[in-house]
Structure 1
Amino acid sequence: MEKIILDCDPGHDDAVAMLLAYANPNIDLLGVTTVAGNQTIEKVTHNALAVAEILNMYNVPIFKGSPQPLVREIEVSEEIHGESGLEGAELPIPSQDIQEKHAVDFIIETVMANEPNTITLVPTGSLTNIALAVKKEPKIIERVKEIVLMGGGFNTGNWSPVAEFNIAVDPEAAHIVFNQEWELTMVGLDLTHQALATDDVFENINNMGTKTSSFFVDLLKFFQKAYKENQDFVSPPVHDPCTIAYLIDPTIVTTKKAPIDIELNGSLTVGMTVVDFRQPIPEDCNTHVAVKLDHSKFWDLIYDAIKIIG
């Protein structure tokens, strides 16, 4: 069983990642931490609590994290996720409270309290919390089992021609996280743009006829409309749960080992994840990039998770 901390900014696809991480029996979700990204920290933290309410997820603590990037002004993705960050479905009033501890401290304490190489960090928003944890307690670097993150891309961007949103909004944090000696797998746009919520997906989820399935259909319908209007996708890509799917079943996501670094200075390319596919791969390379998704296996995991929640 994979012990993980999900560091997220809910966010429609983050909500699906929470669903999959909580419902799948192969994942031990130790905690959810929030970071400003798709919306402000107050909004995404409220959304995390609301999604937890939908999932009956009362035994997983939720911690509020960084309200802004390390050095830059905050940017949000209102055009994709709406004013609340989770438009399209009626959100329940959360019955649980946010934890008093800061997300960064929870990440550090959890990694340090567990055996080395047993905790995987799964960031699906900007990498601010993870970078701050590294700076505050560098000992976590050698103790973390792996970083599996949603962000970046080697062929295209969405926030700029070459930069993906999660990396672009805090490239300094990404630069810190990508340049440590831990194992890191980048699940970027080249992979997640294969995770499309097609008409068949909508039909399959809708046919379940439960409160949970209705909630996620409503979310994905808004997501579909936003992606059509803003990026001309017929079917919306559901990015973030691809990280969880990879941890559940690595055969769902094909990866390649390659050096990756973050551009910080280019006037046109800041936030670009520069992936070096040249051969030979350096012996000390510890980064991997996701390249191919098994679409049907991926969505089968989502269907199963919705059925488990009921």
Structure 2
Amino acid sequence: MKRKVILDCDPGIDDSLAIMLALSSSEIEVIGITVVAGNAPVEMGYQNAKKVLKHMGRLDIPVYIGEEKPLIKDFVNALDTHGSDGLGESFLPQVIDQPLLKSAVDFFRESLHEQSVSVIALGPLTNLAKLIETDVSAFAKIEQLVSMGGSYKAHGNCSPVAEYNYWEDPEAAHIVFQQMKKLHKKIHMVGLDVTRKIVLTPTLLEYIKRLDEKQGEFISKITKFYFDFHWHWEHIIGCVINDPLAVAYFLKPDLCQGFEAYTDIETQGIARGQSIVDAYDFYKEEKNVYILTSVEVKEFFYFFLERILHLKREELSYLEEIFKGETA
């Protein structure tokens, strides 16, 4: 039986690639997409989700608009990273429709009370914190919660210590992490320690275009701005695609390894948004997080390309040559 999944996201370039991966995976059923303010303002993120669904021929999947700002702090988008349209300045045509009247939180509530559903959260955790505030029993029914966010030993990407999703709404992340502790459950934290290693290089992108011109051109169009951003700020030839790893990990957990620890998110001062990982059990608190620390990069790209290009592993043999060349 297919596992039912809600994608909670803030599209966003890498969110869009994650949506594509989820929709290309037959073992899950994406029952809906909820959008939160993050990389892009929530209305823009909604449109970007619809654009990706149109590209994938899946406009049947409902998209729900969620929280338009963090719980307490002012909203700070990441359009400097994702382009003025939030989708790499691809300026794809708008999808003309009427947004659904039901909110993201209402959709969460109804879906979780009706059936077994997992959540893959790719943006700030504001929608989930609001769900806790309004219907904690619904939140408790989440089968598995995977969050792309945080970091353990890796440096931050919007402060020396904080990853953007948790920095953007640290109060929401704190609420979610603490509620998981109260429920004796664990959130799976797919943080910068592993996502930074997932770099889409020019060679990989060219390979995708050779294998599937339509898919390759779409990915090229939405990632060009991302390539330029990463070179300007980090001198990386390529772009880090964080969010697809969270989806890949949900589908194939053995791609990554990690450990369990009590973890909380700092909400104040210069360390705002930092993931405080009690790796040495200093506080003697119940372990509420599984923190990913290593990833099989080549295996991720085999998996990613198999799915989004609908190819078998043996049809991707040139990946071996690409990775030999890039690690030589």
Q: TM-score, normalised by structure 1?
A: 0.93
Runs of at least 5 residues in structure 1 that lack an aligned partner in the other structure:
none
CA RMSD of aligned residues (A): 1.8
Quote the Cα distance in structure 1 between the aligned partners of 2:225 and 2:209.
Answer: 15
| SS of 2:106 mapped into structure 1 | helix
1:17-56 equivalence runs, <5 A = 17-56=18-57
Number of residues of Structure 1 aligned to a counterpart in Structure 2:
305
Work out the percentage of aligned pairs sharing the same amino acid.
31
1:60-209 equivalence runs, <5 A = 60-94=61-95, 96-114=97-115, 118-155=116-153, 156-180=155-179, 181=183, 182-209=185-212
Quote the Cα distance in structure 2 between the aligned partners of 1:96 and 1:304.
Answer: 32
Shift of 1:290: 0.9
Quote the Cα distance in structure 1 between the aligned partners of 2:251 and 2:212.
Answer: 26
| SS of 1:76 mapped into structure 2 | coil
Letter matched to residue 110 of structure 2: E
Residues 35, 44 of structure 1: 8 Å contact kept: yes
Quote the Cα distance in structure 2 between the aligned partners of 1:276 and 1:165.
Answer: 21
Quote the Cα distance in structure 2 between the aligned partners of 1:308 and 1:96.
Answer: 29
Once structures 1 and 2 are overlaid, which stretch shifts more, 208-217 or 37-46?
208-217
Once structures 1 and 2 are overlaid, which stretch shifts more, 212-221 or 170-179?
212-221
Shift of 1:83: 0.9
Q: Once the two structures are superposed, what CA deviation does each residue of 1:57-112 show, in whole Å capped at 9, x if it has no partner? A: 12211111111001111001121101111124341332554322101110111111
Shift of 1:304: 2.3
CA distance 1:281–1:141, shift in 2 (3 Å): farther
Once structures 1 and 2 are overlaid, which stretch shifts more, 214-223 or 22-31?
214-223
Residues 209, 215 of structure 2: 8 Å contact kept: no
Q: Once the two structures are superposed, what CA deviation does each residue of 1:238-267 show, in whole Å capped at 9, x if it has no partner? A: 0001111011111111121111101112x2
Quote the Cα distance in structure 1 between the aligned partners of 2:214 and 2:131.
Answer: 37
Q: TM-score, normalised by structure 2?
A: 0.88
Quote the Cα distance in structure 1 between the aligned partners of 2:234 and 2:41.
Answer: 22
- Residue 231 of structure 1 corresponds to 234
Quote the Cα distance in structure 2 between the aligned partners of 1:301 and 1:88.
Answer: 27
| SS of 2:64 mapped into structure 1 | strand
Structure showing greater Rg: 2
CA distance 1:206–1:119, shift in 2 (3 Å): same
- Residue 213 of structure 2 corresponds to 210
Quote the Cα distance in structure 2 between the aligned partners of 1:83 and 1:157.
Answer: 23
Letter matched to residue 304 of structure 2: I
Shift of 1:237: 1.0
Shift of 1:300: 1.9
More helix by share: 2
Letter matched to residue 86 of structure 1: L
| SS of 2:211 mapped into structure 1 | coil
